[in-house]
């Protein structure tokens, strides 16, 4: 049976399609490439005590975008400037979406030290551990929950010493937890648990540019982050690059192009 665009709007658990009225907000949304998918694993619930994620009356889930900012440069950030273009276009595409901004440089992340490592081992072995370990695990769980509550991700990530900034590595070390974001299968290896989610990553670098001689740097930035995202199940990962930002005479034009790429990415995510 052929489905109209309106009928394709909702894909409910167990592959049941339902029709929705042809309202203007739905017409706007159809310009985006993907239909909204209501995942069986996500039911009616609130975002950390916030608003319920189903749009009242419409019977469909509100898409939640998490923007992880991995640069401390605030309003001067190039990666954040490009990411802003993505956010604007995404919210045009998903008028009822919620945006959660996690600015890592303005967030106190729980340390991943001896207590946190012991807490992780307790969780794996099902043991209780000390009060400090229990508190540490709760902090980890809270951040994992904020991360896994998102439907899609936006990362703004400058290259720092050929890799990602340490703030982002710290975040990754907290949220990459067996049973929560991945599982390890003895035969098949790592299996991501965040399936059904997509990501856009804005990469900047001052000197490095793809194809440059190795004397000007090597990319352990996108190689690492793209691998990590796919390992935890996030796929596809759409890259938007603004490189180089410092060794260039065409930053303004490159910034415009990167913003346009970000807008296009927002329409395909």
Ligand X SMILES: Cc1cc2nc3c(=O)[nH]c(=O)nc-3n(C[C@H](O)[C@H](O)[C@H](O)COP(=O)(O)O)c2cc1C
159 annotated to bind ligand: yes
How many Å apart are CA 163 and CA 247, to the nearest integer? Answer: 18
In which element (H, E) is residue 228 found?
A: helix 221-231
Q: Residue 239: phi, psi to the nearest 5?
A: -95, 135
37 annotated to bind ligand: no
Least CB distance to ligand X at residue 193 (A): 29
Q: What residues make contact with ligand X under the rule CB under 6 A? A: 71, 73, 77-80, 158-162, 204-208, 217, 245-246
Among 97, 66, 18, 61, CA closest to 201:
66
CB nearer to ligand X: give 14 or 76. Answer: 76
78 annotated to bind ligand: yes
CB nearer to ligand X: give 180 or 225. Answer: 225
Residues in the chain: 269
Least CB distance to ligand X at residue 264 (A): 20
Least CB distance to ligand X at residue 201 (A): 12
Strand partners, 192: 182
Least CB distance to ligand X at residue 104 (A): 12
103: left (phi over 0), alpha (psi -120 to 50) or beta: beta
9 annotated to bind ligand: no
Cα dihedral 20, 24, 25, 30 in deg (nearest 10): 80
79 annotated to bind ligand: yes
195: left (phi over 0), alpha (psi -120 to 50) or beta: beta
CB nearer to ligand X: give 36 or 71. Answer: 71
CB nearer to ligand X: give 110 or 165. Answer: 165
The annotated binding site for FMN is made up of 77-79, 159-162
């Amino acid at each position: 049976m052929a489905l109209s665009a309106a009928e394709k709007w909702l894909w409910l658990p167990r592959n049941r399609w339902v029709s929705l009225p042809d309202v203007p907000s739905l017409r706007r949304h159809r310009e985006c490439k993907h239909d909204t998918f209501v995942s069986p694993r996500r039911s009616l619930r609130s975002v950390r005590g916030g608003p319920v994620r189903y749009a009242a009356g419409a019977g469909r889930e509100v898409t939640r975008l998490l923007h992880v900012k991995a640069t401390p440069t605030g309003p001067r950030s190039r990666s954040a400037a490009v990411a802003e273009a993505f956010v604007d276009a995404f919210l045009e595409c998903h008028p009822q979406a919620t945006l959660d901004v996690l600015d890592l440089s303005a967030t106190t992340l729980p340390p991943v030290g001896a207590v946190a490592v012991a807490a992780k081992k307790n969780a794996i072995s099902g043991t209780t551990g000390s009060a400090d370990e229990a508190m540490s695990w709760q902090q980890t769980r809270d951040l994992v929950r904020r991360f896994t509550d998102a439907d899609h991700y936006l990362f703004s990530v400058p290259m720092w010493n050929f890799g990602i900034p340490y703030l982002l590595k710290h975040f990754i070390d907290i949220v990459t937890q067996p049973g929560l974001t991945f599982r390890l299968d003895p035969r098949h290896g790592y299996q991501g648990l965040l399936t059904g989610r997509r990501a856009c990553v804005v990469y900047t670098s001052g000197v490095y540019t793809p194809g440059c001689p190795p004397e000007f740097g090597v990319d352990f930035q996108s190689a690492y982050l793209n691998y990590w995202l796919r390992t935890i199940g996030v796929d596809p990962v759409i890259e938007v690059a603004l490189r180089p930002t410092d060794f260039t005479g065409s930053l303004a034009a490159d910034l415009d192009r990167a913003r346009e790429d970000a807008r296009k990415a927002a329409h395909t995510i």
